[in-house]
Amino acid sequence: MNTFLILIVLVLVAIAVWQMAKIFELSQVKTDRGEVATDKDNKYNGYLMFAFMIFTYGIAIFSFWKYWKVLLPEAASAHGEEYDVLMAVSFIIIFIVQFITQALLHYFAFKYRGKEGRKALYFADNDKLEFIWTIIPTIVLAGLIIWGLYSWTVIMDINDEDDPIIVELYAQQFSWTARYGGEDNVLGGANVRMIDIDRANVLGLDESDSYAADDVIVKELHLPKGRKVNFKMRSQDVLHSAYMPHFRAQMNCVPGMTTEFSFTPIFTTEEMRQKPDVVDKVKRTNKIRAERAAKGEPNSDPWEFDYILLCNKICGKSHYNMQMKIIVESEEDYNKWMAEQKTFGQSMAVTE
């Protein structure tokens, strides 16, 4: 498939270069009319417009059929369903408008092609037509924008209702670190100027702040199902972006400031692994990896679905590898895991 696509690209590039050369020739002053299009040329170009339309729609239909299965599975956060509906409606409207306008464009290019003796008609204006093609897009776009702003406001309504868990996501080239508020569910003060690697203070926590003593610092993010989580995000060096695709969540991590995002997980990791589309994706992926393993290729070990935190801003040479595993579990399992973790105060006591 990749070879086929490369060949298509090369052919299209060659056609583009050829057309540019013809445009250059036509731009030169000539006394003869050998390059003037004939009725046969116009008819030929009209049919080519139809062929191009069929090709474009064929590629679109093939892409949906072939690659629809690689899209994200069902949203794993409470707000995810509304987010997906908004995106689906936007795509449906875009494709309907695109289908109608492109079909008309190619049809008119054929129907009104140049002919000997035919003169082009010019209309200075058409108030009725201009009103229609202005007011309809305005109404549709205004509706989408209002809906989008409402959805964004609901998603970004970060507050302390429903007893949320407070978690900090700390970004640095090229890794993530998570910090929990501990028993008091309050994050201690922190500043990059207080980072002390020798004393294991990798996040620059303020040791004089009593709230920091029970903070828990980990390299694997655990979240309880059905419990709201308020994320506070920091960056140590450059602009990063905390992207959790399965939860339909993304927020920039900006040096020098704290950004926030909030969501409620609704499926545990194990529950998500049982979803039919996830099961199919795992099977397809492992089939490909088994074929690679038979050829002795790297990265061919069996794969199992996991939630993941990625960086969605190109932040340097190892940006592609900046990720952290997310585990969603029952609140009982989450509390058990949390009880096993060392607090910041305990870690600092060991280094003294």
Query: pLDDT for 242-258, tens place per residue?
Result: 999 999 999 999 998 89
Give the pLDDT score at 29: 56
The predicted pLDDT at position 1 comes to 58
Q: Which of 253-292 are b and which e, b meaning 16 or more Cβ less than 10 Å from the residue's Cβ?
A: bbeeeebebbbbbbbbbeebeeeeebeebeeeebeebeee
Strands 221-224 vs 323-329: parallel, antiparallel or unpaired: parallel
* Sign of torsion over alpha carbons 269, 270, 274, 278: positive
For residues 240 and 176, the answer to whether their CB atoms sit within 8 Å is no
- Whole-angstrom distance, CA of residue 171 vs CA of residue 86: 30
What Cα–Cα distance (Å) separates residue 39 from each residue in 92, 105, 292, 297, 304? 39, 20, 56, 58, 62
Beta strands in the chain (DSSP E): 165-172, 175-180, 216-218, 221-224, 229-235, 240-244, 249-253, 259-263, 307-311, 323-329
pLDDT at 252: 94
Determine the 3-state secondary structure of 303 from DSSP: coil
DSSP secondary structure code for residue 164 in this structure: P
Beta strands, E only, 219-341: 221-224, 229-235, 240-244, 249-253, 259-263, 307-311, 323-329
3-state helix, strand, coil in the chain (%, to 5): 50, 20, 30
The tokens of 317 are what? 């040479």
Question: Which two tokens mark 103?
Answer: 């079909």
Residue whose C-alpha is closest to residue 311's, from 202, 172, 167: 172
Give Cβ neighbours of residue 135 (< 8 Å, ≥ 6 apart): none
Structure tokens at 44: 């030929």
Which domains are seen in the chain, by residue range? 165-351 (2.60.40.420)
Confirm if 100 and 137 have CB atoms less than 8 A apart: no
Determine the pLDDT at residue 292.
84
Q: Which residues pair with 326 in a beta bridge?
A: 221, 307
| Closest of 87, 96, 345, 323 to residue 200, by C-alpha | 345
What 8-state DSSP symbol labels residue 313?
A: S
Instruction: Evaluate the omega torsion of the peptide bond into residue 174 and state whether it is cis, within 30 degrees of 0.
Output: yes
Check residue 254 and give its pLDDT: 92
Residue 338 C-beta-side C-alpha neighbours within 13 Å: 23
**Strand arrangement of the beta sheet that strand 216-218 belongs to:** 216-218, 175-180, 165-172, 229-235, 259-263
Per-residue pLDDT of 76-85, as tens digits, reads 999 999 989 9
**CA–CA distance, 20 with 24 (Å, rounded to integer):** 6
**Identity of the residue numbered 176:** W
* Tokens linked to 29: 């002053």
Longest dimension (CA), the chain: 95
pLDDT at 44: 83
User: Looking at residue 13, what is its pLDDT?
Assistant: 80
Low-confidence ranges of the chain (pLDDT < 50): none
The verdict on pTM exceeding 0.95 is no
